Amino acid sequence: MSTNSHDRKYFGTDGVRGAVGQKLMTADFALRLANAAARVLAPNGGTVLIGKDTRLSGYMFESALEAGFVSAGVNVMLMGPLPTPGIAYMTKHFACDFGVVISASHNLYNDNGIKFFDGNGEKLSDALEHEIEKRLEEPSVTRESKALGRATRVDRSRAEYQKFCTSTFPAGLSLEGVKLVVDCANGAGYKVGPRVFADLGAEVIPIGTAPNGTNINDGCGATAPQLLQLMVTGAHADAGIALDGDGDRLIMVDAEGNIVNGDQLLYILAKDRKERGTLKTPVVGTVMSNVGLELALKELGIEFKRAQVGDRYVLEMLRETGGTLGAESSGHVLCLDIATTGDGIVSALQILAIMKRSGTTLQALTQGMHTFPQVLLNVAVSKKVDPYSVPAIEKAAKEIEKALGNEGRVVLRASGTEPVVRVMIEAREKETAERYAKSLADTVRAAV
């Protein structure tokens, strides 16, 4: 298992992230980070691909990273706005030594982040991130003039990523006759997203495709799909597709306006692959995945495992076990038989292919899975604590687990980003979940 991200000084579960202008998210730190990363990932010179989403601060960080890499003797290719999975793909396509994405994913514009891919378009190992952190403690280097890197713009090459996306849709199928509303969250997918679906023949109504530097994820996209729900039903569309700001999450909406989340998408994909004999098990979710997913997969005879929260941990478990399908409820869907990282556009195409092949609506495809009500309460605590290390809390949690049996779950965990303990109860009836969640939250409050 990987080292816990909280043991690292700068890197979290998905690169370096924070509020722009504070702590790590400054131009000075970005330059030093680039210089340190260059010395670890391309010590003898090489090439890096830099992509970003549509945040106003992206220009600043792009320039700072470029300076840091070039000064360390690494050539820079500047892609401009492209989904995170697109940068992963293009890093490998261009045979770069590594790739960098400037994005805070689903956060609002005042945050930003910097994440890295290796030459295969995969997330860096913990060991490499530790090595970069060690180099950050050393002074930056500037090579002599003849050894400096060069920078070039390659934004027209985004068409290569579009081609890759369309190539993942089965040959002989098209989206002719399918009406889609595509919400790009005013983010990195605003150009390529609608084009991919239109290239395959769909009638596309695009929304969230007018970024202005400050409206990314603001009332739109995978974290706020309410507008998409209204648009799908209002336009009598067959489905809605919501990406997040960097395009690695997918939430869908069926023709009736119902949200189809990551758990349901994973169920649809796993069931289809099982029926076609192409499924490699186990299927991997997280500790927050709905128990309804686990029971539905069990009914189909599909092995299911749970990883820690975070798509990097889902990916890690898939690599360890040889599985290819995984997801978080929030919409990070991994199809490792197709892409190296979660890709909202590619995942949507796999679901649309199942709809076309089977002649079935998205709503009908979700029917085999009963989603159990979940109640999540955040309990503020004065200090970070493992809730299971407190006897009174552990005892109360075990009693609730015993009472629920196979009809629900208890998840207790300390937040990695704020001083709260998350109490999540899942039960067949919402009232039951609410009652037990309140009771356990009261116990946590009293004990910590």
- Copy the structure tokens of residue 190: 């605003």
Distance CA 114, CA 320 (A): 26
* Angle between helical axes of 344-358 and 192-199 (0-180°, round to 10): 20
Is 439 designated active site? no
Identity of residue 337: D
List the one residue out of 262, 383, 344, 446 whose CA is nearest residue 83. Answer: 344
Distance CA 193, CA 184 (A): 7
By CB atoms closer than 10 A (0-12, 13-18, 19+), residue 98 is buried
Which is the catalytic residue, given 57, 71, 103, 105? 105
CB 385 within 8 A of CB 401: no
Could you list the active site residues?
Answer: 105
